[in-house]
Structure 1
Amino acid sequence: MLSCQYIQKGVLLSQPPLPISSLLSLLQHSLSTTLSHFPALAGRLSTDPSGHLHILCNDSGIEFVHAEAKHIFIDHILSPVDVPNCFKEFFTFDDTLSYAGHHKPLAAVQVTELGDGIFVGCTVNHAVTDGTSFWNFFNTFAEICRGAKNISKSPDFCRNTVFDSPAVLRFPEGGPSATFSGDEPLRERIFHFSRESILKMKLKANKKLTTEIIGKQCNDSWTVTNGVINGNRTAEISSFQSLCAQLWRSVTRARKLDGNKTTTFRMAVNCRHRLEPRLDPLYFGNAIQSIPTVASVGELLSRDLNWSGDLLHQNVVAHDDATVRRGVKDWESNPRLFPLGNPDGASITMGSSPRFPMYDNDFGWGRPMAVRSGRANKFDGKISAFPGRDGGGSVDLEVVLSPETMAGLETDMEFMQCVS
């Protein structure tokens, strides 16, 4: 993750019922208190003489920025089809690689005044946190701001884990470089999927499975209880896997790729609950791995949603304790930087999660109106999943594609009929 850019996520809030000077004082004090629970973020990265990387908890602090954009109004930035570029200005540390945490703060908060609201943008070093840790920090910041005396979810800083590796990663002089170009023309759009729409996709993806289960129940006396067949997990494709499968098919079709070309769908997975023994759900750090699922373009597009959904599902289910540890051992045998980007033009990378409590960030005057991200780690095929603001299983996908591919996706009826 040291060649990745910092995580940039933020929340759009309505106009607070207090003067900006009082608001800034409240936010600064709350942030300082939050850091007392997350001391690692107030430190710096440090590489010792042997080459091992550490977080030096030296209380160097994080960056806090106040910016003004009073000519921008909430309705004007939420109503366009494409995500306006102004959101990219609501964050600090643009184009900053995580390796820079050796001499730059590991986190930053920018509070931007709008004409009728504020945007709280949070930037955190990706080598130090993953999405789970990021949103726990953000949620705690909001919780303290609205007056909590005791935080509800204390981070776990245990380091006796498989991720505490003795391997040494050697860096080129001056540190690593980004593995993708940030200069390519891109379009960014939020697609909303209601719970009902996603359930329809799930039903479609599991149609073959449902028929097989009914047949087995009739012929083999199989029983299904709470999603388990005779004590074993079913092969049911989840709602999110169904949505990912549909996106994979439609984006691939929009790219107009040769049928013999290989396409890859990468999905970031949380390893905390996959390890044995399990890590604490609030383990603070980066505990994710990337699962690549591959298929030929021709087969992906000629088969149905069940086929692509099952490919993704089987890979996710197979990513157990042994797979996590095997991935770590493989990396230790050949330490290397994690590459981001889409070098072959046929890849999709899914990040974030609709399970993250993004809309729990109530700072004391109401839930966020929207969640958005900055310019970091954006390339053709980068997708981020957010929970829908209305909850109930709805999902928002932040989709970043080349202009030509985005135009093709917008005319893909199989995909657009699922969009709410």
Structure 2
Amino acid sequence: MPFSSSSSSSPTLISRCTVFPEQKSSIGTLKLSVSDLPMLSCQYIQKGVVFTRPTLSIDALVCLLKRGLSQTLTHFPALAGRLSTDSAGYVNVACNDAGVDFFHANATYLSICEILSPIYVPDSVRKLFAFDGAVSYDGHFKPIAAVQVTELADGVFIGCTVNHAVVDGTSFWNFFNTFAEVCRGVNRISRPPDFRRNFVKDSPAVLNFPDGSPKVSFNTDAPLRERIFHFSREAILDLKSRANAPPLRKRMENGFSIEAEILGKQSNDGWKINGTHTPNGKKMTVVRNAVLKSPRYETVTEEVSSFQSLCAQLWRSVTRARKLSQTKSTTFRMAVNCRHRLEPRIDPFYFGNAIQSIPTVASAGEVLSHDLQWCATQLHRNVVAHDDATVRRGVEEWEKNPRCFPLGNFDGAMITMGSSPRFPMYDNDFGWGRPLAVRSGRANKFDGKISAFPGREGGGSVDLEVCLAPETMAGVENDLEFMQYVSFD
């Protein structure tokens, strides 16, 4: 733990306790799915929010948070459990009401400005989270979740640390939002989690660890620079316009064409086949990469999304900053939510991991010699093609060779995009207003790891938490094509 009783550069631990669910769980045991198991080698998710100081005294605030957490765990009993491996090798969450850790710390030497104003995210931020360095497999003997509330000179930071084999980003933020909702005094939570184990199927696959517990797959000691780049709504729209102009028309083998019209990432992710309606209410049929060899095609509208446009610009600028050879293969990985991709769809608040990683590969020469539209189109095609059949095919391939998900930049030319600007990170009013900012801990960070957050002002603005090798970060900061879209407000 990063606590100290003497150093002015580390929080002082005031108290530590175990918080139990207000009501006993009746769920029993939840088997980890084929989407959960690969995360056992990942570190715990660490995300938190910065607030101005509430009018409550700190003692009253801590009591409020403990009581609210206990009530919230009643709705999320898996977080109060522990991992267990049965005699057949299956890893489960035992919903045994063992509780979560709650820490109250003091860091009044640190102001909100000192957290948010520096160009690079300061080292002090990682000290605002519990379980630093913990790997998800550790949930066998460590709490699945922990909450740390830290007093600042002029505010408070609430950080949540949750086992990544038990939650993905959707489940994490549903828990965090519900925690705030309960503390705010609502009588009925708005988004109850769905604990059915219906992600694809009940797989017989077993993940073995012949060398003991799994280890992280990246160098945790490699030097990194971490910076939050803010993109206003106007900047995002400008990028999207570049990615879609001139009008996107791609000639197909038999003379039919594809044009543009899925608006935004959510709509982009929401299509269905056979002329069914998309979330924006427009009837359409999507032609996917997987069916391009079919003898007939329909003309459809298909627009590169705002987020894909931003990702494409990042791909170009990071590739340029890395000074790779023209023939070097580069990979841009995007984590996607599979809840709405499956047929039948699973509940939007399915609790657990329901994600897969989509890699898009191109040589450095291709990324830099083509324009933004070309890069964005490569990303877009892969996202659109990731349908029910693709998800199930990925599961089948994993079952043939069960393994943990390899996080890292193994060849010096990889980018991994996580989180989402559509997660409700600012819907966390605990009773004294919305957060000022979102920050994350040190977990799962390496050269090329990017996390997308919504901008606080909303409206389609985006914050990118960018982790890069120092020399690569310097190159991106000197890349005018990238920096012209960054806001410095």
Q: TM-score, normalised by structure 1?
A: 0.96
Q: Secondary structure of 1:360's match?
A: coil
Tell me the equivalent position of 1:401: 468
Q: Secondary structure of 2:426's match?
A: helix
Q: Output the CA distance in 1 between the equivalents of 2:175 and 2:202.
A: 21
Structure 1's 220 and 143: CA in aligned 2 closer, same or farther, altered over 3 A? same
8 Å CA contact retained: 1:108, 1:122:
yes
Q: How does 1:7-26 map to 2 (within 5 A)?
A: 7-26=45-64
Tell me the equivalent position of 2:124: 86
Tell me the equivalent position of 1:275: 342
Query: Which structure would you say has the larger RCO, counting Cα contacts within 8 Å and 6 or more residues apart?
Result: 1
Tell me the equivalent position of 1:392: 459
How far does the alpha carbon of each residue in 1:269-314 deviate from its partner, in whole angstroms, 9 at most, with x for none? 0000000000100100000000000000011100001110000000
Give the alignment partner of residue 244 of structure 1, picking from 299, 311, 314: 311
Q: Secondary structure of 1:358's match?
A: coil
Q: Secondary structure of 1:349's match?
A: strand
Structure 1 position 3 matched with structure 2 position 70: no
Structure 1's 305 and 222: CA in aligned 2 closer, same or farther, altered over 3 A? closer
How far does the alpha carbon of each residue in 1:386-413 deviate from its partner, in whole angstroms, 9 at most, with x for none? 0000000000000000110000000000
Let me know the Cα RMSD of the aligned residues.
2.0
Structure 1's 284 and 230: CA in aligned 2 closer, same or farther, altered over 3 A? closer
Q: Output the CA distance in 2 between the equivalents of 1:147 and 1:157.
A: 24
Structure 1's 123 and 68: CA in aligned 2 closer, same or farther, altered over 3 A? same
Tell me the equivalent position of 1:128: 166
Structure 1 position 159 matched with structure 2 position 197: yes
Tell me the equivalent position of 1:265: 332
Give the alignment partner of residue 212 of structure 2, picking from 174, 197, 205: 174
How far does the alpha carbon of each residue in 1:30-80 deviate from its partner, in whole angstroms, 9 at most, with x for none? 000000000001001111011011110111001100111001111122111
Q: Output the CA distance in 1 between the equivalents of 2:398 and 2:241.
A: 38
Shift in Å, 1:88: 0.3
Tell me the equivalent position of 1:202: 240
Q: How does 1:293-372 map to 2 (within 5 A)?
A: 293-372=360-439
Structure 1 position 114 matched with structure 2 position 152: yes
Greater shift in the superposed pair: 197-206 or 156-165: 156-165
Shift in Å, 1:149: 1.2
Partner amino acid, structure 2, of 1:68 = N
Give the alignment partner of residue 185 of structure 2, picking from 147, 172, 192: 147
Q: Output the CA distance in 1 between the equivalents of 2:90 and 2:257.
A: 56
Q: Output the CA distance in 1 between the equivalents of 2:158 and 2:202.
A: 32
8 Å CA contact retained: 1:387, 1:396:
yes
8 Å CA contact retained: 1:241, 1:312:
yes
Structure 1's 226 and 317: CA in aligned 2 closer, same or farther, altered over 3 A? closer
Q: Output the CA distance in 1 between the equivalents of 2:344 and 2:72.
A: 29
8 Å CA contact retained: 1:208, 1:306:
no
Tell me the equivalent position of 1:137: 175
Shift in Å, 1:173: 3.6
Greater shift in the superposed pair: 132-141 or 198-207: 198-207
What stretches of structure 1 move > 2 A for 4+ residues in a row? 219-235
Tell me the equivalent position of 2:294: none
Structure 1's 31 and 312: CA in aligned 2 closer, same or farther, altered over 3 A? same
Q: Secondary structure of 1:2's match?
A: helix
Q: Output the CA distance in 2 between the equivalents of 1:95 and 1:230.
A: 46
Partner amino acid, structure 1, of 2:210 = P
Q: Output the CA distance in 1 between the equivalents of 2:120 and 2:258.
A: 49
Shift in Å, 1:177: 1.1
Tell me the equivalent position of 1:58: 96
Q: Output the CA distance in 2 between the equivalents of 1:230 and 1:118.
A: 48
8 Å CA contact retained: 2:259, 2:301:
no
8 Å CA contact retained: 2:50, 2:158:
yes
8 Å CA contact retained: 2:223, 2:470:
yes
Structure 1's 269 and 198: CA in aligned 2 closer, same or farther, altered over 3 A? same
8 Å CA contact retained: 1:163, 1:328:
no
Q: How does 1:192-231 map to 2 (within 5 A)?
A: 192-210=230-248, 212=249, 231=285
Q: Output the CA distance in 1 between the equivalents of 2:206 and 2:262.
A: 45
Structure 1 residues without counterparts, runs of 5 or longer: none
Shift in Å, 1:223: 10
Structure 1's 251 and 163: CA in aligned 2 closer, same or farther, altered over 3 A? farther
How far does the alpha carbon of each residue in 1:112-148 deviate from its partner, in whole angstroms, 9 at most, with x for none? 0000100000000000000000000000000000111
